[in-house]
Structure 1
Amino acid sequence: MASLSGGRIRLRLYAEGRLPVTYREGLQAALYSALPSPLGERLHDEGLLGGRRPLKLFVFSRLLGLTYLKEEKAFLAQGELILYFASALDEVVGALGQGVWRRGGLEVHGLFLRLLEMGLEPLPAGERLVVEALAPITAYRTEGGKTLYFNPLNREFPHLLEANLNRKAEALGLPRGSLEVVPLGFHPRQKRLERYKGTWVEGWMGRYRLAGPPHLLRLALLSGLGAKNSQGFGFVREVEGA
């Protein structure tokens, strides 16, 4: 059986300025740009694991520390920000870290996010984990040309998250497994509708209790829960002390 490597980087950044509500697209582009050629192009165009549905196996959080300006429909950056980036592939984690270090930060929609500190975080082990979504988790099916989204209380939600993780595990040569997903303190206010390249995507924030094989839980932390991870959806991080 193959082993699961990869890692998670915590970036502490500094910026002063405004970002559009759709800054996720610019952030994704900045991350791709930080990767060396041809890795960045290959990851963007094809993914690193082929097949009928190519996998990119990386995920990133929202920019933590932004203030939403309702009147302007924009985000204000005014000081320190935190960004998490994770991948189940060592090659991607290492290259991203080196790229951001060389550039001294990331440029998103014309705003430069200056790097203050960067570190590789340890990941928890075990068969149970409480996580918090730091980017909306999206679960959906496409039927008859329509996209049907599911909330965490719908029985389809955990099934889709489990199927997604198992597809990633198989691509990495890891065994399939069962995943239990229980929302903690669910509230409708945790719903997020976010536009990505002209399409509205429904996702859910909040905390969740996960139970399953250790390699699947580690994979959830390294590649995200649910769909559209490389677009910045589904990043979860363990809740310390939970």
Structure 2
Amino acid sequence: MRFKLILIIDRNTKGDRIPLNYQYAASSLIYRILSNSGSEFSSWLHENGFQDDQRRFKLFTFSRLFMPRYSIEGPYLKILSNTVEWYISFLPDRSTQEFVQGLFREQSFELGDRRANIRFRVQSVEMLPSPVFTETMVFETLSPACIVRQEDDGSEKYISPDHPDATDIVRLNLLNKYRAFYGHDFPEERFPFYLRALTKPRSSLIAIKEGTPQESKIRGFMCRFELTAPLELVKIMYETGLGSKNSQGFGMSEDATNR
């Protein structure tokens, strides 16, 4: 279930700049807004089968901020427009529309860090219709897709969607998401599954917890891609994102089949 938020910048309260690496702050903000709802949050988790394993709550993703006008000033992003668009997507359907719209409607929040911070006010929250899912679809990334290959020494390597290993890694990732959400393995063992980059992937290196001892770097890729998979797995990819680290703002994609 996908939502489009229109955010108004409150220029009288804070500034008009945020760090270029704002993904961690945005992810923390979503968790904070959801968790602060108290009993509503608990009910939502329960109705969507999350009561015993709240790790499934991470099955969401979000886009980059889309702004009509902006400039880059060193490590900061200066927003010149009065509004921005932001997309958030959740895998659960049951009760999610009312829950999310109620939480974000007329919400005010700050995004950024001590160096650069903007206060936003939610002007509107719109639930977007889902595309007509088919077993082969074309998508365009709205935030960098992070595909992680586990190395023999235990380290992680970030690979591009056009890497020869990407298809198998994404397939396993979606099967794991299916099992986490439904509580059982995908019913089919063998099925057609292909990931094909249609444009040259553009690399994006993003700092998480920037400026702290816990800082780390995650590499993702922006591109248009084609996915062939069973309908349920295509839907999970659309709702939760392509690849890993989706709840940190990676892998959100939109339907581009007819474009």
In the superposition, the TM-score normalised over structure 1's length comes to: 0.84
Q: What is aligned with 2:172?
A: 163
Query: CA distance change for structure 1 residues 213 and 170 in 2, over 3 Å: closer, same or farther?
Result: same
Letter in 1 for 2:163: N
Taking every aligned residue pair, what percent have the same amino acid on both sides?
26
Are 1:101 and 2:100 an aligned pair?
no
Distance in 2, Cα, partners of 1:14 & 1:175:
45
Contact residue 106 and residue 124 of structure 2 kept, 8 A: no
Letter in 2 for 1:192: S
Which consecutive unaligned segments of at least 5 residues does structure 1 have? Answer: 1-6
Alignment match of 2:8 (pick from 5, 10, 14) = 14
Distance in 2, Cα, partners of 1:215 & 1:194:
30
1:134-153 to 2 correspondence within 5 Å?
134-143=142-151, 144-153=153-162
Alignment match of 2:61 (pick from 54, 59, 76) = 59
Q: What is aligned with 1:226?
A: 243
Per-residue CA deviation, residues 191-215 of structure 1 (Å, 9 max, x unaligned), is: 0111112111011001011122121
Alignment match of 1:186 (pick from 200, 203, 213) = 200
Contact residue 133 and residue 207 of structure 1 kept, 8 A: yes
Are 1:123 and 2:130 an aligned pair?
yes
Query: CA distance change for structure 1 residues 87 and 93 in 2, over 3 Å: closer, same or farther?
Result: farther
Cα shift at 1:92: 5.2
Q: Whose radius of gyration is greater, 1 or 2?
A: 2
Q: CA RMSD in A?
A: 2.5
Cα shift at 1:232: 0.7
Letter in 1 for 2:170: L
Per-residue CA deviation, residues 170-189 of structure 1 (Å, 9 max, x unaligned), is: 223354554321101215xx
Letter in 1 for 2:198: L
Distance in 2, Cα, partners of 1:77 & 1:145:
40
The aligned length equals 227
Per-residue CA deviation, residues 72-108 of structure 1 (Å, 9 max, x unaligned), is: 22111222211110111135554332111152x4321
In the superposition, the TM-score normalised over structure 2's length comes to: 0.78
Letter in 2 for 1:72: G
